Amino acid sequence: MEENNWKTQLSTVSKKVNEHFGKLEERDLNWRPESGVWSIAQNLQHLIITNESYFPVFKAIQNGTHKTPALGKIGFFVSFCGKMILKAVEPERKKPMNTFPVWQPKKEVFDQGIVERFVNHQTALIAEVGKMNPFLNDKLVIASPANKNIVYTLEIALDIIVSHEKRHLNQALDLLNHFD
């Protein structure tokens, strides 16, 4: 994928979130079919938390202070981790997954402002993705913000972010079927 494609896809997610969830009542944004299933609001908050955890990594890359993780020097391991995580966050994948505790939504109930906060966050994320363009040909390897032992290239990280957003958008859209 390339920079404009990532930015376009992130913009599309923003538009769909605003279009489908922007006018929902607070109770609908927070509705959960059962314990252990996230609400629309929790899905959005999870994406904000996860994406923002990459911002310090992006800043270190821009500042020239990024250091390749030790495991990032093992080419086949970098490739394995990247492919594994990317497959795990495929938008069409229906199998539920547990996330790292650091990426769990911090609360269960959110106000209607969660949609606006998500859309504003997307604007910041798109800007950060744009700032990564000069570094994409450098074959930089980063560690997952949640686990330093999971490593992948910067390019795969951006693919993961986009796929992960689409996956959670699909999960949130599935919840809309309960309101009809």
| Tens digit of each residue's pLDDT (9 = 90 or more) over 123-147 | 999 999 999 999 998 899 999 999 9
Domains in the chain: how many in total?
1
Share of the chain above pLDDT 90, in %: 80
Of the candidates 132, 174, 178, the one whose C-alpha atom is nearest the C-alpha of residue 157 is: 132
Domain of 96, in residue numbers? 3-179
The dihedral sign for the CA sequence 165, 167, 174, 109: negative
**Which of helix, strand or coil describes residue 147?**
strand
Whole-number mean pLDDT of the chain? Answer: 93
d(CA 160, CA 115): 22
**Which of helix, strand or coil describes residue 123?**
helix
Q: What is the pTM of this model?
A: 0.94
User: Residue 122: what pLDDT?
Assistant: 98
| CATH number (domain holding residue 16) | 1.20.120.450
User: Residue 177: what pLDDT?
Assistant: 80
User: Residue 94: what pLDDT?
Assistant: 72
Stretch 9-20: mean pLDDT, rounded?
Answer: 98
Local confidence band at 1 (pLDDT 50, 70, 90 cut-offs): low
Query: Helix H segments across the chain?
Result: 3-21, 26-29, 40-52, 55-63, 75-88, 113-131, 154-176
180 pLDDT above the threshold of 60: no
User: Residue 102: what pLDDT?
Assistant: 81
Stretch 108-117: mean pLDDT, rounded?
Answer: 93
CA dist 57 → 19, 73, 79, 129 (Å): 31, 17, 19, 12
Of the candidates 51, 55, 39, the one whose C-alpha atom is nearest the C-alpha of residue 14 is: 51
